[in-house]
Structure 1
Amino acid sequence: MNEALSVVSPRPQRAQRGQAQAQRLVCLALAALVGGCALPDLGYYWQGARGQWQMLEAARPVMQVLEAPELAPALRRQLLLAQQARDFASQALALPDNASYRSYADLGRTAAVWNVTAAPPDSLELHQWCFPIAGCVGYRGYFAQADAQTQASGLAAQGLEVLVYPVPAYSTLGYLNWLGGDPLLNTFVNWPEGELVGLLFHELSHQRVYLASDMAFNESYATAVQQMGTRAWLQQSATATAAAPAWQAAQQRRLAFRALTRDTRDKLQALYAEPPDTALAAAKKVILDDFRARYQSLRAQWLATPELAARPQASAQALQRLDLWVAQANNAAFGALSAYELWVPAFVALFAQQAGQEAPWPAFHAAVERLSHLPEAARQQALCALMPPGEQPPVCRP
């Protein structure tokens, strides 16, 4: 494995270019407005340009960070791990080899951004926001939690169900690699090995194939790469293999939770497909109350397993974010979650079709890219054909 680090411009050169680059980012924000966004969004694009610039300014090349004598040993280990995983991503998984994740930034906060998502009270169809590059997506990100809450309050006043949730990382789709790329962040760099490398694989996938205005396609593809790539990583060395049991246990918990959320989502969709009824709110409450009760039972089973029972306090803390999601779960929450898993089995099946290729990963990404060029109806039909019979989503059923 090549452990050489890519060269990223050091701080002095950045400082010399700082004002000009800041102006470029502001121009990008204004260009987005000219591209058809409403004038009231000027404040939104300004906070986005400013937040992105502050993140880039905080970033330092990993090589430079590792040279600091006062660097905490735990952070040093994680940064070295991230660089090894970064090399593996390009060399073994055919993901882009560029400046992303070759620098590190401590943002001094617990999330990179806070996303706002919303849906009607009688549908799981997400409210859409449209952007010049990313296309239309079912969320809107803010660098300040207070700004996200303000946006959520406005949507709630319109009668929508809303959710504000922290996001540890996001992809700029490779467009900012000329400025140093997406950095490693304090918001995720200390995660367990399997989770850390999986996140890197997920975000780099967005730089490999991205289809504007199809959130489910993009996130399912990236999630499939995350899962398959992490398995490949954990099999490739004795050090990585040592982290496999913890990751596999976490995967089992994730699968159990996804089965629960999928069942709940199906019940909600069936309810919303019925003719409008004044009893809808009561029926929905029964479904969500059952979901939360079943989660509590599942949670108790997890905490009783030997792995989590050995460290009860840490395990309970690790579940806090999931606990909060369950407590706040509504149509917006279920709608957003489905985008990350809807087509995952289809992409896994597509990868399996490349098993006979000399280089399966490049062949897989090329096949995904070909799918992305299909018209929407043909793309959905192709994905449905790839789905295992028992995992056909409602969009594939007659």
Structure 2
Amino acid sequence: MPDVSPIDLLRRLAVPLLALLLGGCSTLDYYAHLGQGQWQLLQAREPVERLLADPATDPDLTRRLRLSQTARDFASAQLHLPDNRSYRLYADLHRPFVVWNVFATPEFSLDPELHCFPIAGCVAYRGYYQLGRARGAAALLREQGLDTYIGGVEAYSTLGWFDDPLLSTMLRWNDERLVAVIFHELAHQQYYLAGDTAFNESFATFVEREGLRQWHVARSETPSASNDRQRQQFVELVLASRERLRQLYASNLPAAAMRKAKQAEFARLRRDYRALRQREWGGQGRFDAWIDSPMNNAKLLPFGLYDQWVPAFAALFEREGRNWPAFYTAVAALGRLPAPERQAELQALLQKSQN
């Protein structure tokens, strides 16, 4: 059973919810929905150790849970990530995603519609625990002339406010991805800078990748390099398309011509993807469903957020002697800088990584 009572939950949520409502960010109904969704998730938790001790637990689930606990131990002992009850609990959600994020942009812009929260700061999406609510929100945004995209999310971090559980949605991944996401989400608990999504996600992605590299070394395993290579090539393809769109939207074309050129760019992205798939991947692509579904600006938003500053954080890690505590201290120092100075420091680290 969860270790948080309804009264304790309300106590923890009272201040942020009040700040949200007084700030006028959205409606009471939306935040009630968030509170209810988080509470239901907490109610579904049970200790992993109890499941492992139960002979009735499905053998495959037992194996995955044992792996998760080994990774959880490694995260704190070797990567110096928070040592708490997060990912020592399990919750079966009986649905494919824990939340659905709604992204939106203007028709001729790659700048996201931002949503601001007192803890997370301003982010480029709004999350919903129910797919129907996400679809309804996206429909309202489309009526305003915005491009929208709904992305399912298998895991998220409460940044240490609660003991985040392993979710049944996370177990849909292969073993390597499961381990990587545990490292990624714990990195968000280690450090989080409100209002700077690219900084936070790039930091957590670096910790995930370097942590996974060290995990494989410690276990004398060979990582699945082919999947990483495919993903990197795909991301580069999408980012190149984004850059061409950015240049298009900065032009002075009339709206009708701009709209036609936008669709031509999406057609080019699909052609480039199929050529890459045939040339490099033997005709098999992991991202066929994504590339063949409807395309718009909002669908491209998540790309780049997770990768933009990863080489910069890698350079910082090297600068700090590959010492995790020293690295985290340096990351926190970066986070305390005013935004222009922080960007300049990250850019300098990025350039250093390329030399």
Q: Could you say whether these structures have the same fold, taking a TM-score greater than 0.5 normalized by the shorter chain as the test?
A: yes
Within the candidate set 75, 78, 86, 1:89 is matched to 75
Q: Quote the RMSD (CA, aligned, Å).
A: 2.2
Q: Distance in 2 between matches of 1:390 and 1:65?
A: 45
Deviation at 1:291, TM superposition (A): 0.5
Instruction: Report the AA paired with residue 264 of structure 1.
Output: S
Stretch moving more, 323-332 or 363-372: 323-332
Aligned to 1:385: 348
SS in 1 for 2:23: coil
Indicate yes or no: 2:312 matched with 1:334: no
Q: Distance in 1 between matches of 2:137 and 2:354?
A: 35
Instruction: Confirm or deny: 8 A CA contact 2:230 2:281 kept in the other structure.
Output: no
Instruction: Report the AA paired with residue 375 of structure 1.
Output: P
SS in 2 for 1:235: helix
TM-score (ref. length: structure 1): 0.84
Q: Distance in 2 between matches of 1:48 and 1:213?
A: 19
Q: Which runs of 5+ in 1 are unaligned?
A: 1-10, 309-315, 393-398
Instruction: Report the AA paired with residue 331 of structure 2.
Output: V
Aligned to 1:372: 335
Q: Distance in 2 between matches of 1:141 and 1:46?
A: 13
SS in 1 for 2:169: coil
Indicate yes or no: 2:152 matched with 1:166: yes
TM-score (ref. length: structure 2): 0.93
Deviation at 1:145, TM superposition (A): 0.5
Aligned to 1:349: 315
The 5 A counterparts of 1:1-16 are 11=1, 14=3
Instruction: Confirm or deny: 8 A CA contact 2:311 2:353 kept in the other structure.
Output: no
The 5 A counterparts of 1:28-67 are 28=15, 30-38=17-25, 41-67=27-53
Aligned to 2:86: 100
Stretch moving more, 188-197 or 135-144: 188-197
Q: Distance in 2 between matches of 1:364 and 1:381?
A: 18
Identity %: 42
Q: Aligned residue pairs: how many?
A: 354
Q: Which runs of 5+ in 2 are unaligned?
A: none
Aligned to 1:285: 263
Q: Distance in 2 between matches of 1:97 and 1:336?
A: 29
- CA displacement, residues 268-287 of structure 1 (integer Å, 9 cap, x when unaligned): 11112222433111111111
The 5 A counterparts of 1:206-225 are 206-225=188-207
Q: Distance in 2 between matches of 1:93 and 1:18?
A: 32
SS in 1 for 2:277: helix
Indicate yes or no: 2:125 matched with 1:148: no
SS in 2 for 1:127: coil
Instruction: Confirm or deny: 8 A CA contact 2:235 2:303 kept in the other structure.
Output: no
Deviation at 1:18, TM superposition (A): 3.2
Deviation at 1:343, TM superposition (A): 1.0
Taking a change above 3 Å as real, the CA distance of residues 328 and 389 of structure 1, as seen in their structure-2 partners, is farther
SS in 2 for 1:266: helix
Indicate yes or no: 2:59 matched with 1:69: no
Indicate yes or no: 2:227 matched with 1:250: yes
Instruction: Confirm or deny: 8 A CA contact 2:314 2:353 kept in the other structure.
Output: no
Aligned to 2:110: 124
Q: Distance in 2 between matches of 1:290 and 1:142?
A: 32
SS in 2 for 1:121: coil
Taking a change above 3 Å as real, the CA distance of residues 302 and 145 of structure 1, as seen in their structure-2 partners, is farther
- CA displacement, residues 120-155 of structure 1 (integer Å, 9 cap, x when unaligned): 111111110011111111011100001011111111
SS in 2 for 1:369: helix
Q: Distance in 2 between matches of 1:101 and 1:28?
A: 26
Within the candidate set 6, 11, 32, 1:24 is matched to 11
SS in 1 for 2:201: helix
Deviation at 1:29, TM superposition (A): 6.2
Taking a change above 3 Å as real, the CA distance of residues 232 and 68 of structure 1, as seen in their structure-2 partners, is same
Q: Distance in 1 between matches of 2:295 and 2:326?
A: 38
Instruction: Confirm or deny: 8 A CA contact 1:33 1:41 kept in the other structure.
Output: no
Deviation at 1:325, TM superposition (A): 5.7
Q: Distance in 2 between matches of 1:213 and 1:257?
A: 27
